Amino acid sequence: NAGVTQTPKFQVLKTGQSMTLQCAQDMNHNSMYWYRQDPGMGLRLIYYSASEGTTDKGEVPNGYNVSRLNKREFSLRLESAAPSQTSVYFCASRPNIGVSNQPQHFGDGTRLSIL
Amino acid sequence: KNEVEQSPQNLTAQEGEFITINCSYSVGISALHWLQQHPGGGIVSLFMLSSGKKKHGRLIATINIQEKHSSLHITASHPRDSAVYICAVLRPGSQGNLIFGKGTKLSVKP
């Protein structure tokens, strides 16, 4: 019963380095999300994918790109990491977008530090 | 002003106490979620509700749509209940995108 799996769990980067955070779900969900969580702030949506082949910007997309590789996998890429991107990143999935009575299922998070 | 406000921000209780965490929101919603996040851990969905009340074990969640307010209650609290509790709302037509509160950090002392 893996649910939503994120890799890596921890990463330290230098400013300017690139990195891809991986996310995979085994629940056959259509919708997937990437959030960041910073101290004193609520979770903020970076990008989401309503279904395989589609992606859309969330509240804080600048500095990030995403790829919905297939129905299972949704990756988040930092092309040129900046210290402001130091955060905990969560991936989530949900059966279908636009249906209100479905909870989101979250991964365990990736703690990313940019030096 | 944040669209989702939680109170209190921090809460310390003694084991066995009855705990209430509040969530107020300023937008129209189709559902409200309560989530739990343990230290260093992932996020788990506890409840999703659009009206009335739900109960699961020692946890009870209520919502008053007219007053735009929800409460999460924990009866007979236990140290293992120590976590951050997060309220999030789903707006109609928002494609599943949640708006999150900042969370309430609960510490239950033995």
Burial label, B62 (beta-carbon count in 10 A; 0-12, 13-18, 19+): middle
pLDDT per position as a tens digit, B20-64: 999 999 999 989 999 999 887 789 999 999 999 999 999 999 999
CB-CB under 8 Å, B101 with A100: no
Counted residue by residue, chain B has a size of 110
pLDDT per position as a tens digit, A1-39: 679 999 999 999 999 999 999 999 999 999 999 999 998
Burial label, A12 (beta-carbon count in 10 A; 0-12, 13-18, 19+): exposed
Of B50, B95, B103, the CB nearest to A98: B95
CA distance A97 to chain B (A): 5
pLDDT per position as a tens digit, A72-92: 999 999 999 999 999 999 999
As a whole number of angstroms, the distance between CA A28 and CA B51 comes to 28
CB-CB under 8 Å, A90 with B43: yes
As a whole number of angstroms, the distance between CA B57 and CA B54 comes to 10
Which two tokens mark B82?
Answer: 């120590």
As a whole number of angstroms, the distance between CA A48 and CA A35 comes to 9
B87 and B102 Cβ atoms separated by less than 8 Å? no
As a whole number of angstroms, the distance between CA A64 and CA A27 comes to 25
B70 and B63 Cβ atoms separated by less than 8 Å? yes
Chain A contacts of B30, Cβ < 8 Å? Answer: 100
